[in-house]
Amino acid sequence: MITFEEIGLMPEVLKAIGEMGFVNPTPIQEKTIPGLRETNQDLVALAQTGTGKTAAFGLPIIEKIDTSNKKVQSLVLCPTRELALQITKDINNFSKYIPNFYATPVYGGADISKQIKDLKRGTQIVVGTPGRVNDLTNRGILKLENLEWLVLDEADEMLNMGFKEELDSIISNTPDTRQSLLFSATMPREIENMAKRYLTDPMQIKIGKQNAGASTVEHIYYMVHARDRYLALKRVADINPDIYGIVFCRTRHETKEVAEKLMADGYNADALHGDLSQAQRDQVMHRFRSRHLQILVATDVAARGIDVNELTHVINYNLPDDIEAYTHRSGRTGRAGRTGTSIAIIHTKESGKVKMIERISGIKFERKMIPSGSEICGKQLLHLVDRVENVEVNHEEIEEFLPQIFEKFEELDKEELIKRFVSVEFNRFIAYYQGAKDLNVYKKDVERDRNKRRGSDNYSRLYINIGKAHNLTAPRLMGLVNESTNRRKIGFGKIEVLRNFSFFEVEEGSQKDVINAIKGREFEGEKVHAEIATAKPPKRNNNRRRPDGGGNNYNRRRRS
């Protein structure tokens, strides 16, 4: 296996990365670094998250930077501020022994005056999000006429986030003589078009199979009813006492809701989503990276830039709609030679998504049963015993209290003392899980639900004022109803999710309960209204959010 020293990196860089524990390059680094050191040819590199892309483009660029010139020589564009900060941190660590070397992050949601000050001071590398970079370029603060290297990192995600116009504007202000490096996890048509438009005869590097999951990751799924999804999440956390992972949710609202429930139930968790200020996001990420948080609940976009190698679990509270998003998520565990687990908590109707992921990505899922209360109590008891066995004893500090402690326990024999000791922590799990129900959905349950949906004779048809434009799906509709009623099982019939509204059937006799339960609830920022279905849907209020961009409350995608 080749080493970084054999690649021939300069001594200052070798010293810095040696202190970081870098000895052998990853596959993307091994294929990219020598070529970029020896040629000015453009590059398109396909590689999944966590493969070491920052060093792949950062190390050769660092070696070529002219430190006597404080003008911007390299621009790295990436989708989120977290990723911009992480890339900048890595570049600064790689170049720590190179005098007069500067890398500066610029991103939205932070004081632009400080970033302007940093740019005016002089810097060789700028790492930024497209929105802020475009703003600074238009103001004439960020000058790109001397640019030699343009890096588009996670280009597919930048396009997914709606940054095409900003990217076009920024790139149009760069010299034609620049070397362009495009890194992406996927190669959709939009990325191919971008490569053709802005890159000249690029060399192409592909690491791993597209959409393939890492071989170090175990993929499992649990099947539950929609109303039991949160209870299942808690059991997953309880059966893995040392969990250090990310729970992925679809929306900001769901992210906040799940995180708040976990914290209220005593779990060491917090949320990361787009409504947080930069200071709040930094605080949450600092706690997570330092492992003061065990569970981070996040959306896909908010999780961009989280670069943590020790994650034990990735949990899909909802499966994403596309395969690439799943492989991105699962690729955040099982890194740096470690093994990891990717868990999906699915509803009965989502089993088709699991099969589709298996077919396209080659991933093999294993279905497991949600652990019972008894299993969890046993696991937690043994975990407590392990902690006691391995605890570091502070002999000097505890010495003066030992006489009083011995006096308290002098009438207890060894067995009774051990029982009482472990019960301090164990009793709360016994109390919580005593009589806990089985959350698993079995084949007979799926068949029963399927048979119910075949006929509509015993169902009442309801109208609801949300649809595909509000990111509604059949499982999410069932989840909304089940979470709102929260007192008994609701039987569903046929569900029709249309663009701006939907129809769904519920068991006869439960329609009034459902209508009253979901009345006034919010879904993706829209006040929910339901009623008995008529021949025509009720007339929409023009002030409500419209998917075509009209309406006073249309919520445009916020950019970094």
pLDDT for 375-405, tens place per residue? 888 888 888 888 888 888 888 888 888 888 8
Residue 225: its pLDDT value, please?
Answer: 87
Share of the chain above pLDDT 70, in %: 88
When mean pLDDT is compared over 68-72, 106-110, 454-458, the highest value belongs to 68-72
Residue 544: its pLDDT value, please?
Answer: 42
Domains and CATH numbers, the chain: 4-206 (3.40.50.300), 217-370 (3.40.50.300), 374-433 (no CATH), 443-532 (3.30.70.330)
Q: What is the pLDDT of residues 190-201, one digit of tens each?
A: 778 888 888 999
Q: What is the pLDDT of residues 134-167, one digit of tens each?
A: 999 999 999 999 999 999 998 887 887 778 889 9
Residue at token pair 């908010």: 302
In this prediction, residue 221 has a pLDDT band, given cuts at 50, 70 and 90, of very high
* pLDDT, mean of residues 393-419: 85
Closest CA to 346 of 218, 217, 219: 219
Residue 535: its pLDDT value, please?
Answer: 53
Residue 410: its pLDDT value, please?
Answer: 84
* pLDDT, mean of residues 529-537: 75
In this prediction, residue 457 has a pLDDT band, given cuts at 50, 70 and 90, of low
Range scoring the smallest mean pLDDT among 14-23, 105-114, 238-247, 527-536: 527-536
Structure tokens at 380: 């937690």
In this prediction, residue 451 has a pLDDT band, given cuts at 50, 70 and 90, of low
In this prediction, residue 175 has a pLDDT band, given cuts at 50, 70 and 90, of very high
* pLDDT, mean of residues 206-230: 78
Residues 6+ apart with CB under 8 A from 24: 1, 2, 3, 4
Residue 229: its pLDDT value, please?
Answer: 92
Residue 560: its pLDDT value, please?
Answer: 39
pTM above 0.85, yes or no: no
The C-alpha angle with vertex 93 and arms to 91 and 98, in degrees rounded to 5, equals 85
Q: For residues 354 and 346, is the Cβ–Cβ distance under 8 A?
A: yes
Residue 474: its pLDDT value, please?
Answer: 84
The residue with greater pLDDT, 526 or 549, is 526
Q: How many CB atoms lie within 10 A of CB 278?
A: 15
Residue 543: its pLDDT value, please?
Answer: 44
Listed in sequence order, the DSSP H helices in 368-521 are 373-390, 395-398, 402-409, 414-433, 443-454, 474-485, 511-518
Q: Average pLDDT of the chain?
A: 84
In this prediction, residue 547 has a pLDDT band, given cuts at 50, 70 and 90, of very low
* pLDDT, mean of residues 454-463: 72
Q: What is the pLDDT of residues 329-370, one digit of tens each?
A: 888 888 767 889 999 999 877 777 888 888 877 889 999 999
Residue 39: its pLDDT value, please?
Answer: 87
Task: Return d(Cα 408, Cα 403) in angstroms, integer.
Answer: 9
Residue type, 209: K
Residue 171 has pLDDT above 70, yes or no: yes
Residue 430: its pLDDT value, please?
Answer: 81
What is the side-by-side order of every strand in the sheet holding 149-153?
Answer: 103-106, 125-128, 74-77, 149-153, 179-184, 43-46, 203-206
Residue 305: its pLDDT value, please?
Answer: 62
Residue 111: its pLDDT value, please?
Answer: 85
Residue 480: its pLDDT value, please?
Answer: 85
Residue 503: its pLDDT value, please?
Answer: 92
Q: How many CB atoms lie within 10 A of CB 46?
A: 21
